[in-house]
Amino acid sequence: MPEGLAERAAALRWYHTIALPGGVVTRGEYDLRDTLRRLPFPPSLRGKRCLDVGTHDGFWAFEMERRGADEVVAIDLDDPARYDWPLPRPPLEGEAAQPRDAAFRLAHEALGSRVQRRVLSVYDLSREEVGGFDFVFIGTLLLHLRDPIGALAAIRRVCDGELLVNDVISLSMTLRRRGAPAAALSTIDDAPFWWVPNAAGLERSVRAAGFEVLARGRPYFARNGAGAVKLGWRARGAASLRRMLVLKLGVPHAWVVGRPLPDRA
């Protein structure tokens, strides 16, 4: 275990709850260990080249590596000016006080990881930049993007196998519009959110980006972690109640597994 790991981990703000050597568990805003058990994450990735889109602290990238992936590439952005967020961009609060990759780097060191972290926007994915991948994961990122279908289409350019999408959905729209794709602009002011789809809308987005849908999951709540912070964004009307439910239950998510369709002649 790296010297002083517990103290170094405690000094950082973590997005993910990650189990590190020596019994150290980071105080992440989101604890995705239960989410991992809910997703059809391949039990073995041996012989696969894998991509984690929007890695943040690296929870999913390190899990790919733990499951035997031959190579894992993780992409994210470090410069807040490049974030695809609504204007004016909301403040990052505690995250602004530390380098964007600080938590990832500490976890990478502690785990003795070989994951390659690249500073790259999902929109800029290309085979010239990163090559092709047998398995791609994107989690809780689409709602932060102005063009989520464009992002999925960019992933298709480098995906040779399967894509697993796990993202936020509107539970109320899912219940009201069963089977009918829909999405709404976020009503929460000063928050880094754009489109929030219902479950059918998330599936439709994957199809619209050029993927065949192989499987889809039922809505579930992704749990908050020990480091969860109270949402400070201004909310109007029913959004205030939804904010309280999110803090108590977690964030509604759904998953979709897709495979890229061949280009038409």
**Which residues are within 8 A (CB) of 264 and not within 5 positions of it... i.e. 6 or more apart?**
none
Q: What are the distances in angstroms from CA 10 to CA 29, 117, 128?
A: 13, 22, 39
Residue in 137, 143, 168 with CA at minimum distance from that of residue 258: 137
What's the token pair of residue 49? Answer: 């080249």
Find how far residue 106's CA is from the centre of its chain. Answer: 19
Composition of the chain by helix, strand, coil, percent to 5: 35, 25, 40
**Domain range annotation of the chain:** 5-260
Q: Is the pLDDT of residue 97 over 80?
A: no
- Read off the pLDDT of residues 57-96 as tens digits, 9 standing for 90 and up: 999 999 999 999 999 999 999 998 899 998 887 776 655 5
Q: What are the distances in angstroms from CA 257 to CA 60, 163, 222?
A: 16, 6, 18
- Give mean pLDDT, residues 252-259: 97
Q: How far, in Å, CA of 88 to CA of 74, rounded? A: 28
Q: What is the predicted pLDDT for the residue at 181?
A: 96
Q: What is the predicted pLDDT for the residue at 263?
A: 84
CATH architecture for segment(s) 5-260: 3-Layer(aba) Sandwich (3.40)
- Read off the pLDDT of residues 201-252 as tens digits, 9 standing for 90 and up: 999 999 999 999 999 999 999 989 888 765 444 445 445 545 555 556 789 9
Q: What is the predicted pLDDT for the residue at 180?
A: 94
The confidence band for 53, taking pLDDT boundaries of 50, 70 and 90, is very high
What SS3 class is residue 63?
helix
Largest CA distance in the chain: 58
Q: What is the predicted pLDDT for the residue at 191?
A: 84
Q: What is the predicted pLDDT for the residue at 245?
A: 58
- Read off the pLDDT of residues 137-175 as tens digits, 9 standing for 90 and up: 999 999 999 999 999 999 999 999 999 999 999 999 999
Q: Is the pLDDT of residue 265 over 80?
A: no
Q: What is the predicted pLDDT for the residue at 247?
A: 59
Q: What is the predicted pLDDT for the residue at 106?
A: 97
- Give mean pLDDT, residues 103-110: 97
Phi, psi at residue 251, to the nearest 5°? Answer: -105, 130
Q: What is the predicted pLDDT for the residue at 228?
A: 79
Q: What is the predicted pLDDT for the residue at 226?
A: 86
